[in-house]
Every structure is written in C-alpha cells, then in structure tokens.
Amino acid sequence: MSSGDMAKPLLGHQNTESDPNTPAAGRTIGVLGSGDFARSLAIRLVCSGFKVVVGSRNPKRKASLFPSAAEVTFQAEAVKKTDVIFVAVFREHYSTLCDLADVLAGKILVDVSNNTEINHHKESNAEYLASLFPACTVVKGFNVVSAWTLQSGARDGNKQVLICSNNQEAKRTVAEIAQVMGFTPVDMGCMSSACEIENIPLRLLPTWKIPIFLSLGLFLCFFTYNLIRQVIHPYIREQKNKLYKIPVEVVNTTLPCVSYVMLSLVYLPGVLAACLQLYYGTKYRRFPDWLDQWLQHRKQIGLLSFFCAALHAVYSLCLPMRRSHRYQLIEMAAKQAMEKKTNVWVEAEVWRMEIYISVGIIALGLLSLLAITSLPSIANSLNWREFSFIQSTLGFTALVVSTLHTLTYGWSRAFDENQYKFYLPPTYTLTLLVPCTVILAKVVFNLPCIRQRLVRIRRGWEKGRYVKFVLPSATGEYSSGETSSNV
Ligand code: NAP
C-alpha cells in the first residue's frame, strides 16, 4: 500500500462507535514495530481518537508508511512517551527488545502475536513476553483480528477482541481501548488462557469438521447405493453402458437424499433430548456428550443441508441441457411416431410432477430463509421468539414440505417390483426413514398429555421432587404445605 493510501485509511476519520467519554479515549498509545499489523493498528488508533507513537528500529525509513497524525520514532523514545504499548513484533524477536527493559518497567505490554502452528511452544507467546519483562504487566489481546480487519472497520470484520491477563486493572485498560476502537472486548480470564487465544486464529473450521464428515459420509453411502441401482444394475442385467449418468444424474439423485436426511438430523437431537427429559422427568440432568455435541452442531448441519439442496436445484435445472436427455427425447418421439401414438398425456403424472416441483421450490425457499437467519448479523437483529419461530417452526415446516417433495417424487414406485434393483428398494424410501421418525415424534410430543409434561419439565418441574406450595384458601387467605410435584 502506498504512503498516499496510508494517509487515507478505509475508516472514516472518527469511529462512530467509540465513546469519547471513555477514560481511554485521547490517551497516548505506543506501538512497537512498523509492519503490517503495526500500521493498521496505528491507523485504527488514530481514527479512534488516540495519540499514537510508533517505535521502530528505523523510524526515518518507516515514517512515511504511517498516517501523519502518528509519531514514528526510535523504540526507546516511543516507550518513554506512553504507559500502554502494543508489541507488534514476532515472538522470535522479543529478545531483541530486552535492551528496553528499564524503560518498559511498570508499563502495560499488549501481546498481539500469533503462532504458525497450534500449541507451537510450551508456553504461550504472552507468557514468554512476561518472562522476559517481569517488571511489566502483559495483556494478551488483538491477535484474533487481522491487519485487514483493523483497517476496514469493525462492521466488516470480526468484532470480538479476546483479552486475558493476570492483572485486572491492565486488562480493563486494554478492554477500554478495544471498545473505543469499535471492538467488543471479551474477558478470557487470566494469562493461562493466552495459549487458547493464540490457537484460535489457527483453527480451521473447528465447528464444521463433524458436520462436513457427516455429510461426506452420507454422500458416499447414497452415491454408492445410487450407482449400484442406476449404473451397475443395468450393466450386469442388460449389458447397458450407463456410465454417462455418473456426473449429473447419480450426483443429482444423491444430493437431495443427503440434504433431506441432514435436515432431519437437525431436528432429531431435539427429539432425543425431549425423550430423555421425559424419561428422567427433569431438565437438570446433563445430556450424554455425544448428544450435547450434536445439539451444538445443528446450525452447521442445517447449512450443509441447504448447500446440498441448492446444488440439487441447480443440477435439476441443468438436466434438460444434457445431450443424453435430448437424444432420449428424440428417441422417445420417434418411437411414439412409429407406434402412431398421438396422445401421450397422463393426467396423474402431470399432477405429480407439478406438485413435486412446486413443493420442492417451497422447501428450498424455506431452507434459504433458515440459512439467512442463521447469519450472526441477521440472528442478532431478531428477538428470541422470532428466532425460535423461524429456526424451529419454519424449520420443521421445511422438513414436512421436503417429505411431501420426496413422497411426490417417489409416488407409487415403492410398490412397483421393477423398481427393486438387486432387491434394493428405491433410494427415496430409505431417505424417508429418519425424517418420518422425527415428524412422528414431533406429532406425539404435541399430544396434550405429553406436551404439558414436557412444558412443565422445561419450566423446572422435576419428577419425585417435593416442593413447597402456597394455595389460596376459600377465605382468600394463603395456606402452605408440602407435596410431591409429580402428583
Ligand atoms: P511484520 O510486517 O513482519 O512486522 C514485524 C515488525 O517487527 C517489523 O516491521 C519490525 O519493525 C519489527 N521488529 C522489531 N524487532 C525486529 C527484529 N529483531 N527483526 C525483525 N523485525 C523486528 O509482521 P506483522 O504482520 O506486522 O506482525 C507483527 C505481529 O502481529 C506478529 O506477532 C503477528 O503474529 C501479529 N499479528 C499480525 C496480524 C496480521 O494480520 N498481520 C494479525 C494478528 C497478529 P521495525 O523494523 O520498524 O523495528
């Protein structure tokens, strides 16, 4: 980025989210280092109303890279002018700062560093910095925001800044600075959390691993099943080469199966949780770990279901574009002409197809709505009732509509013995298994006698627990006693 660009940061001059009355605003902040992070940090600090002094080994050469409002000087000079110093230097170079130990004594050092590998060193970078400068107070923070996020504004990037330190006062000071800069400081406790904070930017989709493996596993199973039915069976039984079906047709019959089953897996853990609560008669008993994990991954499972459904829609739209489809149409037309068939209209088939497509579009629409509302920016703008209505009620409606889509697709094929290839039933019959169980369970849970019990449990009622009760007497006075709450 040119020096001209640096003078004109992406942010507006004053951060609208910062509060000028905060004690942190207006103070001088030091930054050691003049690299990418130091520059972005200095720009953001200047835009947030702080005075910034940058400490560099070569200030003359680096000064032009910083906004004119920031002072760029030698490291020792910069450190003398402030009590809070961001150390924007790699861990390997911390020891080169040891000459500054005397001037740094008593000051707050903010360790912003990251590693290249998870748990790379025995001790965290922040703990290492603290060991090099025992007279300083070290605070870990800002490592989870990138140089880009610092420059592009809080609204565009990750707004959370995780902070930890053994010194409460120093932590509060850094949290205030983060707040003035437009970030949301998150207190992660004492310095022992530094290692965890340093690992966060290195993790690759930690919450997505299980859902991705689950969807890949399902895809593989259904793909193999469809391959056997659509390609291998005609080859073995009729010596017909149907390999051309693999890239589009087999994939397109696999995707809706994965999407549909994944959608039902979003609601199945809720059903299992309700069963456990009913069985134990309490909501205070912990669910098994696997169920806890499953409940926590529902959003990702739902989004992958939407992804597969969207791909299925695109594949389906492209089906008529294929050469094989055109040849088949021509073949069929020629055959009908030779047989002198003029009316090929089958009313029931026409209706089935119309309903099947329409219901499919509605299901995709509902899934899109669920996906959009799971975005943090949208979810945060909804209150709890709106969120649970969309995710729970509309989500379940999507499952029911998807079931209708599947049933209208399958129609009477389950009862046609020609559809059983190598005795394997049509794929859609298999996909119906879990979703129909979920729908049935939901219907059972909505029976008044079960629903009432579930609602009571979720409000804190426990089976076999004696509770104090207060009853109004006929005279309007209150009398108290004890009873078993499950009576
Ligand atoms: P960089 O561009 O390589 O800058 C590092 C700076 O360290 C240099 O500009 C240099 O400034 C200074 N330095 C001090 N002593 C040094 C020495 N002995 N040898 C070499 N350089 C020395 O790195 P960066 O991307 O700004 O990252 C700086 C720190 O921020 C790292 O710990 C990194 O993990 C962390 N971080 C970076 C990002 C990001 O997006 N870049 C995000 C989160 C955290 P002078 O020459 O002026 O002294």
**Each residue's pLDDT tens digit, 402-452:** 999 999 999 998 999 999 999 999 999 999 999 999 999 999 999 999 999
CA 436 to each of CA 182, 265, 272, 379, 397: distance values in angstroms, whole numbers, following the listed order: 48, 11, 14, 29, 13
Lookup: tokens for 217: 């596993």
Look at strands 137-140 and 160-165 and give their pairing: antiparallel
Domain boundaries, the chain: 28-202, 208-459
SS3 267: helix
* pLDDT at site 376: 82
Residue 62 exposed, middle or buried by CB count within 10 Å (0-12, 13-18, 19+): middle
The pLDDT of residue 21 is 54
Residues contacting 380, CB < 8 A, separation 6+: none
Closest CA to 438 of 266, 289, 303: 266
What are the DSSP calls for 356-398, one per residue? Answer: HHHHHHHHHHHHHHHHHHTSHHHHTTS-HHHHHIIIIIIHHHH
- C-beta separation of 152 from 140 below 8 A: no
Asked whether 412 and 429 are in contact (CB, 8 A), the reply is: no
Q: What's the CA-to-centroid distance between 39 and ligand 1, angstroms?
A: 10
> What is the position in ligand 1's atom list of the atom closest to the CA of 39?
26
Domain 28-202, CATH number (from 3.40.50.620, 3.40.50.720, 3.30.565.10, 3.40.50.2300): 3.40.50.720
* 286 vs 457: CA distance, rounded Å: 14
Specify whether the CB–CB gap between 370 and 306 falls below 8 A: yes
| Confidence (pLDDT) at 436 | 98
Query: Nearest 5°: phi and psi at 53?
Result: -125, 125
Amino acid symbol at 464: G
Q: Which residues pair with 472 in a beta bridge?
A: 478
pLDDT for res 268: 97
- Report the alpha-carbon distance of residue 155 to residue 180 in Å, rounded: 14
Amino acid identity, position 224:
T
Ligand 1, closest atom to CA 91? 32
Helix segments in 281-346, DSSP class H = 289-296, 298-318, 323-338
Q: What is the largest CA-CA distance in the chain?
A: 101
Ligand 1 proximity of 61 Cβ (cutoff 6 Å) = no
> Hunting for tokens 């951060």 — which residue is that?
15
What is the pLDDT, as a whole number, of residue 463? 85
| Cα 67 to Cα 3: distance, rounded to the nearest angstrom | 8
Mutate to test the pocket of ligand 1, among 44, 79, 89 (most ligand atoms within 8 A of CB): 89
Distances (CA, A) of 103 to 64, 217, 252: 26, 59, 67
* Parts of the chain with a pLDDT under 50: 1-18, 20, 469-487
**CATH code of the domain occupying 208-459:** 1.20.120
Report whether residue 200 contacts ligand 1, using a CB cutoff of 6 Å.
Answer: no
Of the candidates 66, 5, 64, 71, the one whose C-alpha atom is nearest the C-alpha of residue 39 is 66
d(CA 145, CA 364): 35
Q: What does the DSSP 8-state code read for residue 240?
A: -
Length of the chain: 487
Residue 472 CA to ligand 1 center (angstroms) comes to 72
Ligand 1 pocket test, pick from 36, 99, 143 with the greatest ligand atom count within 8 Å of Cβ, gives 36
Strands 51-56, 28-32: parallel, antiparallel or unpaired by DSSP?
Answer: parallel
Q: Tell me what pLDDT residue 479 has.
A: 40
Q: Which residue has the tokens 């309490």?
A: 282
Alpha helices (H) along 181-250 = 194-199, 209-227, 233-238
Distance in angstroms (rounded) separating the CA atoms of residues 80 and 85: 10
The two structure tokens encoding residue 188: 């992660």
pLDDT on residue 466: 53
pLDDT at 11: 43
Between the CA of 189 and the centroid of ligand 1 the distance, in Å, is 26
The span from the CA of 320 to the CA of 315, in Å, is: 10
The structure tokens listed for 29 are 């902040």
